[in-house]
Homo-oligomer: A and B are copies of this chain.
Amino acid sequence: MSPASATSTPPKPLGAGRPKDLGKGAAILDAAKRLFTAQGFDGTSMDQIAAEAGVSKLTVYSHFGDKDALFFAAVSAKCEELLPPELFMAEHLQGPLCAQLTSIARAFFALITSDEALSMHRMMLTQSSDLHVREMFWKAGPQRVQEAFAAFVQARADAGELEVPDVRRAASQFFCLLKGELHMRMASGLCCAPDACDLDAHINATVDLFLRAHATR
> What is the interface of chain A, defined by CB distance below 8 A to chain B?
40, 42-43, 121-122, 124-128, 131, 134-135, 138, 142, 146, 166, 169, 172-173, 175-177, 179-181, 184-185, 187-190, 201, 205-206, 208-209, 212-213
Question: Which 8 A/B pairs are nearest by Cβ-Cβ distance?
Answer: A212-B213, A122-B125, A42-B42, A172-B181, A209-B213, A124-B188, A134-B188, A176-B176
Give complex CA distance A177, B127 in Å. Answer: 25
Q: Which of B134, B187, B189 contacts A189 (CB 8 A)?
A: B134
Task: Specify the chain B residue showing the minimal Cβ separation from A38.
Answer: B127
Give complex CA distance A177, B170 in Å. Answer: 10
16 A-B pairs besides A43-B127, A134-B188 with CB distance below 8 A are A40-B126, A42-B128, A43-B128, A126-B126, A134-B189, A135-B190, A142-B181, A142-B184, A173-B180, A173-B206, A176-B176, A176-B180, A176-B181, A208-B213, A212-B212, A213-B213
Show 15 A/B contacts (Cβ-Cβ < 8 Å), sorted by A.
A125-B125, A125-B187, A131-B190, A135-B190, A138-B188, A138-B190, A146-B181, A166-B205, A169-B201, A173-B177, A173-B209, A176-B177, A176-B179, A176-B180, A213-B213
